[in-house]
Structures are given as C-alpha cells and as structure tokens.
Chain A
Amino acid sequence: MGYESSAVGRAISRILLEWLIWLPLWIILTINIGAMGKLGTIAAATGFFALGFLLFKLSAVWSRITVAAILVILVAVGIGRYTNDLSIFLWMGVLLWRGRYRRLKPLHYGLAFLICAAAVIVASQNDSLSGYRLLFVILAIVWVVIWFISINRSLLDEAGLHSNIVTRPVRLANRKYLFIFLAAGLLVFALTVSYGQQLLTPPKINTDLLDVSELQPPPEPPKTQENPLSGLLDKEQGPPSPIWDILFWIMVGAAVVGAIWFARLMWRDRTWTWNGMIEAIRRWFIRAKKMEALPYVEEHRSLLKEKKKGHSRFDALFRRHNRIAEWERLSNPEKVRRLYEETVLSGIEQGYDFQTHHTPAETLEGIERWRASQRPVSDNDKHSSYWKWLLVIRLSLLQLYEKAKYSPHSITEQEVKELKEHRPEGKDASRRSP
C-alpha cells in the first residue's frame, strides 16, 4: 500500500514538474485564447503526458507503435482541422513522447532553462507578453540553479562510482561550493555586463547614406493554399448540441457526490484524533536532527592552529619588520648560534660540501678553505663583502659559538654587537637575520 502510494506520489510530482517545464510555452501558445481554452489546454497537456507515461509502461514495440500512431493522428487533426493551433497539437505530441522519461536528468532541466530563455526573447519582442517577462526571467534563474544542482549531483554520483559512496555531508558541501561558484560567476557578470553588451552589440549602420529609391520592394507572398478538407470538416460542424451541457453537469454532479462519499468514508475510517495531530505537529517541530548512519567513524580536526603565522605570502609584505622583531627576541647565545647557522647555510647554498661529522671548528675552517679554493673574491662579487666579513670574524665566531653551545658562561650583548659590527647589509647577509 505504502509502495503504491509512493509510486502514485512520484507520478503526480513528475507530471507537475513536466507542466512547470512547459509553463512558458503554454503561456505563449495560449496568450490569445480565453480562460476556458487555457484550462482545456492544461488538461489536455496533462492528459497527454499522463497517457505517454502510461503508454511507456507497455512493451517497447507496442508503446512505440501506439505513440507513433497518436502522433500521426495529432498532426493530421492539427493540419486538417485546427491549422492555426497546429503548434499546440505538436506540443501535445511532444508531451506524449516525453512520457518515456520517468526520471528527470540534468538535460531535462537544461531544456527547461532553454524554454525559459527562448520565452524571455519572445516576450521581449512581443508586447502582449511583456507582462510575463519577469516571470520567465525568474523561472529561467530557478531552472538554471536546479540544472546546476542536478549536474553537480550526477557528477558526484559518477565520482562515487554509482555505488552510494556519496554521503550527505559530502553532497551538501559540494552544493555549497557550487553556489559559491555561481554567485562568483554572477558577480563577475554583473560587474562586466555593460562592457560585454557594448562589446557584443554590432555597430549601427548609417541608413541615411543608402538610396531608398534603388531598393526593390519585397515580392508579394504566395496565396495560401486552401485546405481541401476544410469544406468537409466545416460541413460536419453543426450548431452546439445541448447534450454536451447535460453531460457536463451530470459529470460535475457525479464528481461532487463522489467527493462527498469519499470524504464520508475517510471520516468513518479515521484513525486520527485532533490531539494526535497536534502531538504529531509538535513532535515534528522538536524533532532531533537525524544523523546519517555511517559504517565508519569519522573525525574532523582543524589544522588552522598548526599553521605557522607570519609565513604566508600576505605576511611577506611585513617580513622585514617581523625579521627584526624575531632577531630582537633571541637571547645572546641564540643570536650567536643563528649567525653560525647562517654562515654554514650560506656556504652550503654556494656549493660547500657540508660534512655532518665535522666539528664547528672544522666546518668553519672547511668553509674558509673551500672559499679560498674558489675563484678569488673580487669587489664586484655580490657576496664579496659577506665573505670578507666572515674572514675577519671567523675565529671570534667560532669562540663565541663554542661558548654558546658548550660553556655555561653567558655571552654579553657587547660581544654579539662586535661580531655583527661589520656585517654587510647586502642581499645575502640580510636574507635571514637583520
């Protein structure tokens, strides 16, 4: 019972969605028809789609043959009897054919958007439809959003290998990012629309320069061929019969009686009470959020705290200031150790083969020897001042470094200052410490 009701519900919602897809076309096609005609068209459209829906439950061959036959009849009647309304008949045929699609896919939402976009263009060129233009625009926006959501959903299913791998949080997160993308796209569009319109609108041709007298008048349109069946069909049309009115009122009466009978049955077999309904509504409002049952345990952790401050590209603008502050925060032994570290790193960067088993004395001596074995230091060399400074302070740097690392004695600020006194302020020297 539950399955049947859900199937009926799905079918009804599918019919409603189909009607919404074709709403702009219905408005355009029935703009010159009266209220009863509009309602009749809706009923016919719904009926044809429902018929198509049912027909495609038959076997493939029978459903196709039946649909093709009905399509031929529709076109024939449209051409023969209602030539002016042929488009409506064709539309009915399309609806009948679309009954094969039980589920809507992204392409169908795209079709809905295209119909709305076409309707906007038609409405902008037709005064009688200008009142509907806003409605078409709103519908187009709604359909484009639904279209993107549907595309995103199908892409996610593809990403999840079509095996229910996509959890609700993942789906929601993706939808959020999609909306951000759409909002960003629309923002860019809004900012550039005037420029784009100017760019894409073709320049106007100055028609004053053209000689109108030289233009040939357009040829007369050929006379429309009369429908050979029209006379026959007209003959069949007689004065309206009162039987139809009687039948209509009989049907209305039967429908009212049926509705009352159904309501009476519902009331008799009711299992609900007013208190029960109120309780159900109350429960719905205070319901707890249903957690998705996952077959695994998932934990989320923010890594923002781990992110080192002052190392992003934005902070690079203030790096000079930070570097000075950082240097000032160091203690005297730490400053000496920093200078030693930079000396070794500079040597390594320029090609010195660092040996991990060397002592600091051996390392500094090795750097000096390696530097001497390189080409002689010229004044034009961008590192020359740095290496000259290093030659001068090497021994004192070594002594202070060993004191900082191995000795319990403290290092005075004066000693650090003396060490750093003649340090050049070039690129190399200022790379790490101020």
Chain B
Amino acid sequence: MAVLIWVVLMMCGCYILQRIAYRWFGLKSVTYIRSFSVPRLFAGQTVWMHETIANRKRLPLPWLRVESLLPAQLVFKQQEAHMSINRGDQLQNHASLFSIPPHTEIVRKHEILCPHRGKYRILSYTLSLGDIVGVTSKTVKQPADCEVVVYPKVKELRDFPLEARKYLQSVRSMNSPIMEDHYYVAGIRPYRQGDSFRMVNWNATAKSGELLVHKRESMQDNDLTIILNAELLDSAHNRRITPEDFEEALSYAASAAQYVVSGGGKAGLLFNGIAEGNEGMLFRAPARAGSAHLDLLLDAMASFQPVTTLGLSYVLEQVVADRTSGMNYMLITGFVDRKQEDLVRQLRKQGNAVELLLLAKEVKS
C-alpha cells in the first residue's frame, strides 16, 4: 500500500514540476511570425500565408496552438480539415496546432484565395501551450502586424464596353493629327489623310519616293482622369445599383488606370466616397505616370467604400470650375441626371474629352 501511495506521490510531484517548468519557460525563446508571400495582389488571385514558428531552446513544446481572427473575405483554397476555421460575416477564427521539438523552426504555408478587394489586417494572435501530459499550461495574446492589400480585379480591355474601349485606346495612343501641334519634330511618318501640306518633309519624300510628313511631339500628354461616383442610389429617379455593381465600377477604374499607365500615360482619380485616410473629403489624385503612382491609386481603391461624401453634381461643378481644357475624363457612374449631363456638356465645351461609362446601361445591355 505504501508503495502505491509513493507511486502516486512521485507522479504527482513530477507532474507539478514539469507544469511549473512549462509555465515559466514554455514560451521563452519562442517566436511566431505570420506573413503573406506578397503584400499586394489583385482580387481573384491567390496568396500564400506563411506561419513561421521557432523554438530556440532545449525544452520541446508538445503542442502549441495559434489562434487568430482573420477577415472572412480570405478563403482558404484547400478546405482545411486539419484546421479549425469558424466563419462569421466579418471575421473567421483560424487555429493551427504545432508540436515543436527543441531548436526547430516550422514554416506552414496555406494557400488563400482573395476574391474581394480590401485591406486585410491581422492585429493579434493567441498562443496556447500544452505541457508534457497535454494539459493547457499557458495562454498569451500577442500583437501582430500582418497585412495584405487586395486591389480591385483588373479587366482585359476587351471586357470594356465598345465606346469606352475605343476611348481608352485613343487616349493611350494619341495619334490624332489634331494633337500633334508641338513645334518639336520627333521624326517622320507616312502621310495620312487630313495632314496639312505644310507638314510634308520634302527632303525625306524625295529620298524615299513616298510622301512623308514631320511627326511632331504631342502638345498634350496622353493622360486620363477617372471620376468614380460612389452613389448607389438616385433617389430623384428611384434608380439604384448594387454594391456588386460598385465593385464592377472600381474594377473598370483600376483597369483603365493600369491600361493608361502601362502605356506610358498618366492617370488621375477623383472619388466622392470614403477612402482610408481621407474620410469625409473628396479623394483627389492628380494625373501622374509611373508604376509607383499606379500602386498608390490601386492602394487607395482597395479601401474605397460606396458611402457618398460629396454628390457627383458638386464634383462635376468643381471640375468645371477648374476650367481645364484638353484633358481626358472618364466618368464611371451608375446613372447621370439632367444636371450632371449639362455639366458634362460644359466640360466638353471647355475642350476636354469626356467618356461616360454607365453601369446601369451595362446591366440593361
């Protein structure tokens, strides 16, 4: 009997000792990093989420559970039977379990599909540690700094409506003779119908035997300013578009900007909804060239919300009041009313090119 009691006492003693050891030293020299393989991607693409956990001490960790709240919009591509994912409307609880031997680093990679644009942040995670018997020994919550930005989905040019496509192509190429009004000569080109005879390069024509004209630099840059309307409802005419239509509008805007910038042009953006860091104001990005500027535009678009801060009519009034000329505008909106049509007409009269991309019309067609 004494032996039996002694066995129980010894085992209890050993259990308490190891429990104290795990409580004190269990999470020492343990690092956990969560990161994404790419910080930015387009909607519909996949990204790898890396969980890197390292145990830099001699004490092994029988089990260690990491729980975190992820945005519900991130979809695990493989339906993970081995992971606890409880999805909600906004967030999903994600947990994974590790067993880490001494001085070992484990990298676990999950493939995630990002079907919706947005800025997704993981702000904290909870580490729970089990002792050698398997009982939960310690739980700590730690801050995290992990973010992935999902840009709006980019469309091919062929997916644009015909008029919008032609307009974008003309903006990017800018080979209209009207625009070739710069006094610097950039080279020669074949004669086209409508070219003035003053533009003929007689020397080159004589040498080649073909009618050639001076190719002049364009006086105007091939820039495009996109005006994106955040209004989902036209209460005066009882017209509305869905949030999905707004996403479509964003996708058009992102695609147009990318098309123009990738062709060496400049793209700007006006948005009358809520943008991150720009709440309650009109988001205005002047037309600039370069991939850095494109990233800035796409980054802003990732955080756009269809909540109107300034009516479209006021935005167009501001643009008209700027008295710009020779500019290219693309207005992407669900609907336009009579007043807005007048303002567009005024803009055109000022010497600007304005293309309307109506989403409601798109739905009808």
- List residues of chain A with CB under 8 Å of any chain B CB: 117, 121, 148, 151-152, 155-156, 158-161, 163-167, 169-170, 173-174, 177-178, 180-181, 184-185, 188-189, 192-193, 196-197, 199-201, 294-304, 306-307
Contact B103 A307 (CB under 8 A): yes
A253 to B18, CA, bound (A): 62
B7 contact set on A, CB distance < 8 A:
189
CB of B100, distance to nearest CB on chain A (Å): 9
Smallest CB–CB gap between B62 and chain A, Å?
Answer: 5
Task: Tell me the minimal C-beta distance from A252 to chain B in angstroms.
Answer: 46
The residue that B14 contacts in the complex, of A164, A184, A300, with Cβ under 8 A, is: A184
Binary contact track B1-33/A, C-beta < 8 Å → 1, others 0: 111111101110111001000000000000000
> Would you list 28 pairs from A and B whose C-beta atoms are within 8 A, ordered by A residue?
A152-B133, A155-B130, A155-B134, A155-B135, A156-B130, A159-B128, A160-B65, A161-B65, A161-B84, A165-B65, A165-B96, A170-B97, A170-B99, A184-B14, A185-B11, A188-B10, A189-B10, A192-B10, A196-B2, A201-B2, A295-B83, A296-B80, A297-B109, A299-B109, A300-B106, A301-B106, A303-B56, A306-B56
Given A181-B14, A297-B108: A193 and B3 interface contact (C-beta under 8 Å): yes
For the complex, give the distance between the alpha carbons of A193 and B135 in Å: 27
- A residues in contact with B63, CB < 8 Å: 156, 159, 170, 174
Bound complex: CA of A152 vs CA of B128, how far in Å? 16
B102 CB to closest chain A CB, in angstroms? 8
Nearest B residue to A169 by beta-carbon distance? B99
B101 interface residue per 8 A CB criterion: yes
Task: Check B79 against A188 for contact (C-beta < 8 Å).
Answer: no
Q: Which residues of B contact A163 (CB under 8 A)?
A: 83-84, 95
Across-interface contacts of A184 in B (CB, < 8 A) = 14
Partner of A296, one of B14, B60, B78, B133: B78
Could you say which of B14, B76, B96, B110 contacts A188, with CB atoms under 8 Å apart? B14
| CB of A141, distance to nearest CB on chain B (Å) | 11
Residue of A nearest to B18 (CB): A181
A188 to B55: give the CA distance in the assembly, Å: 28
Q: Residue of A at shortest CB range from B79?
A: A295
Q: Which residue of B lies closest to A190 (CB)?
A: B10
| Chain B residues within an 8 Å CB radius of A197 | 2-3, 6
Q: Which 3 A-B pairs have CB atoms at the shortest separation, nearest pair first? A: A155-B134, A196-B6, A295-B78
Given the complex, which residues of A lie within 8 Å of B6, measured CB to CB? 189, 192-193, 196-197, 199-200
Whether B184 sits at the interface, judged by CB under 8 Å, is no
- Asked whether A196 lies within 8 Å of B133 as measured between CB atoms, the reply is no
Contact string, B123-163, partner A, CB cutoff 8 A, digits 1/0? 00000101011111000000000000000000000000000
Contact A173–B62 (Cβ < 8 Å): yes
On chain B, the residues within 8 Å of A185 by CB distance are: 10-11, 14-15
Given contacts A159-B128, A296-B109, A299-B107, contact A174 B134 (CB under 8 A): yes
Instruction: Please list the residues of chain B having a beta carbon within 8 angstroms of any beta carbon in chain A.
Output: 1-7, 9-11, 13-15, 18, 54-56, 60, 62-63, 65, 76, 78-84, 95-99, 101, 103-111, 128, 130, 132-136
B23 to chain A, nearest CB (A): 16
Q: Are A300 and B104 in contact (CB under 8 A)?
A: yes
Tell whether A302 pairs with B136 under 8 Å between CB atoms, given A188-B10, A188-B14, A197-B6.
Answer: no
Contact indicator A159/B10 (Cβ below 8 Å): no
Which residues of chain A have C-beta atoms less than 8 A from B108's C-beta?
Answer: 296-299
**Complex contact B78–A304 (CB within 8 A):** no
Among the listed A155, A181, A296, which residue makes an inter-chain contact with B110, where contact means beta carbons less than 8 Å apart? A296
Residues in B with CB closer than 8 Å to A201 are 2
- A24–B107 Cα distance when bound, in Å, is 49
Question: A303 to B132, Cβ gap below 8 A?
Answer: no
Smallest CB gap from A182: residue in B: B11
User: Counting chain B CB atoms within 10 Å of each CB, which of A151, A189, A306 scores highest?
Assistant: A189
Q: Would B104 and A196 count as touching, CB distance under 8 A?
A: no
A301 touches B130 (CB 8 A): no
CA A177 to CA B59, docked complex, whole Å: 11
Contact B10 A304 (CB under 8 A): no
* CB nearest neighbor in A for B111: A296
With beta carbons under 8 angstroms apart, the residue of B18, B105, B135, B136 that contacts A301 is: B105
In the assembled complex, which residues on chain A have CB atoms less than 8 Å from the CB atom of B80? 295-296
Chain B nearest Cβ from A76, distance in angstroms: 37
Known A165-B96, A300-B104; further 8 A-B contacts with Cβ < 8 A: A170-B97, A174-B62, A174-B63, A189-B10, A196-B10, A295-B110, A297-B108, A307-B103
